[in-house]
Amino acid sequence: MMEALLKIVIVDDEPLAREVLEGYLKRMPRIGQVQLFPNATKALSGLKTLAPDILLLDIEMPEMNGIEFLKCLPDPPLTIFTTAYRNYAFDGYELGVIDFLLKPIAFDRFEQAVAKARELLALEKHSQLEDTAENSNDFIFVKSGVQRIKLHFSDVTHIQGLKDYAIVHTPEKKILLKGSIKAMLDIFPPARFFRVHKSFIVNLQHVRHLEHNSILLNGQQVPIGRNFRDEIEKHLKPLQ
């Protein structure tokens, strides 16, 4: 089956920034409708009739910034922040943004972010947890398309919440499960898995290093939420 064309909305108050992103999209395959808005207010009206797959969103804009805009959306699309300000990365994690691109944005980095969104959109259509008696304290079965995947808990490095889904990360692959990050706490054993952020759960056996604002596990960094810091330090302080 041919991959569907992506529908994309760009919201940025800078004409040149909109032009650059639109130009990048024209260089990429399987891109369909691209809609541009110069501010969040006009985008709010436009999104009432549009159903984009991806939202490319600037943050620092007059009247309403990107963060305020995103909080107004009852069911936001997959969102990528495009900003000149590095200090908004934490807000992106809190809002479930899938990527954070720092201006000026290089084409290859932009391409990676769109590829990540494509991957998540594809996973969303196929993966689900199987309710089966074969599940145990060491593994669960996941259905992906026509395949049944035996997922060992020891292989999972971390879990990321994204809207009504959870991305299960292993060194080899990602699996998308239907359900909130909170629901994942009932599926994955609490003796091994610990919530460190509103949107992240880590497998304690894969944690390599604890820093002030993040946890390093197998080469990947996971942010630490403010409300989780005290409990994290009790569990992971020996790693500091």
Asked if residue 1 belongs to a domain, the reply is no
- Total tally of structural domains belonging to the chain: 2
Supply φ then ψ for residue 151, to 5 degrees: -105, 110
Q: pTM of the predicted model, to two decimals?
A: 0.74
Residue 142 pLDDT > 60, yes or no? yes
Q: Within this chain, do residues 119 and 134 fall inside the same structural domain, yes or no?
A: no
pLDDT of residue 127: 54
Q: List, in sequence order, every beta strand (DSSP E) within the chain.
A: 6-11, 31-37, 54-57, 78-83, 99-102, 127-129, 139-144, 147-152, 158-162, 165-169, 174-178, 193-197, 200-203, 207-210, 214-217, 220-223
Give residue-wise pLDDT tens across range 65-98: 999 999 999 889 999 999 998 888 767 877 888 8
- Inter-helix orientation angle 15-26/107-124, to 10°: 70
Q: Within this chain, do residues 140 and 79 fall inside the same structural domain, yes or no?
A: no
Beta bridge partners of 61: none
Q: How confident is the model at residue 133 (pLDDT cuts 50, 70, 90)?
A: very low
Q: How confident is the model at residue 40 (pLDDT cuts 50, 70, 90)?
A: very high
The residue range of the domain holding 161 is 130-239
More confident call, 144 vs 122: 122
Residue 170 pLDDT > 70, yes or no? yes
User: Distance between CA atoms of 36 and 222, rounded to whole angstroms?
Assistant: 32
Q: In CATH, what number is assigned to the domain containing residue 66?
A: 3.40.50.2300
Tell me the average pLDDT across 4-30: 96
